[in-house]
Chain A
Amino acid sequence: MKNRLKIERAIKDLTQEALANEIGVSRQTINSIEKNRYIPSTILALKLSKVFEKSIHDLFELENDD
C-alpha cells in the first residue's frame, strides 16, 4: 500500500515527532508507515486523515499486489 504521509506532513510542516504526539503513537510508528514497513489500523488511519483534513483515500492507495 502506498501512502502520501511524508508529503502531507511536509505540507503541514510537521515533524514525525509532532505528528506522533498529535495522534498518540511513537515516532517509530510514523516512520514505519512512511517507509511502507507498517500498515496502520483503521483507527490510526482515521486519526491521520483527521489531522491532515483529507480522506483516507487521499492518504492511502492500494497497489496491485495488495
Chain B
Amino acid sequence: MNNIQKDLRLLPTYFKKIAFSLIGVSVLFLVLSITKLLPIEKELVKLITKNTILISLLLLAITSNKTEDELTHKNRLKAFAGAFIFGVVFTIVSSISNYLFPEFVSSSNTGITYVLIQMFIIYFISIYTMKKSDREK
C-alpha cells in the first residue's frame, strides 16, 4: 500500500472484482425475479437490487487502480468534487421543479438512490475523461 492509498483510504485493487461480481449477482437476481423463476416480492427485489448496485458503485469508486499516483489522486478529488456539486445542483433544481410542476413528478426520478447513482455516473465519466486526456501524447 503506497502513501496515496493510505491518504485516501482506498481499498485494494481486488475489490474491483468483488464490485463487478456484486453487479453481476444483482442483475442475475433481477432477471430471475422478472422471469418469475424466483418468486420474490417486487418491492423486495427493487430494494435488494438498488442497494447492491449502490454498494458496487461505491466499491468501484473507492478501490485503487493498478497504478495509483499523485495525478490519479488529483483526478479522483476533482471527480469527487464534480459529482458532489452535481448532486447538490440536481437536488436543488429537482426540488424547485417538483414544486413548480407537481404534475410531472415521477417516483422513478426522485429519491436519494437516484441522485447517488447519477453522482457515481458523473464521477466515473469524469475519471474516464481525465484519464483519456492524460493518455494523449
Residues of A within 8 A of B (CB): 20, 24-29, 31-32, 37-38, 40-41, 44
Residues of B within 8 A of A (CB): 2, 67, 69-72, 74, 131, 133-137
Complex contact A41–B70 (CB within 8 A): yes
- Report Cα–Cα, A9/B136, bound state, in Å: 18
Complex contact A29–B70 (CB within 8 A): yes
Chain A residues within an 8 Å CB radius of B71: 25-26, 28-29, 32, 38
Complex contact B69–A24 (CB within 8 A): yes
Complex contact A28–B134 (CB within 8 A): yes
Complex contact B69–A29 (CB within 8 A): yes
Chain A residues within an 8 Å CB radius of B2: 24
Chain B residues within an 8 Å CB radius of A38: 71, 74, 134
Complex contact A40–B70 (CB within 8 A): yes
In the complex, residue of chain B having the shortest beta-carbon distance to the beta carbon of A32: B134
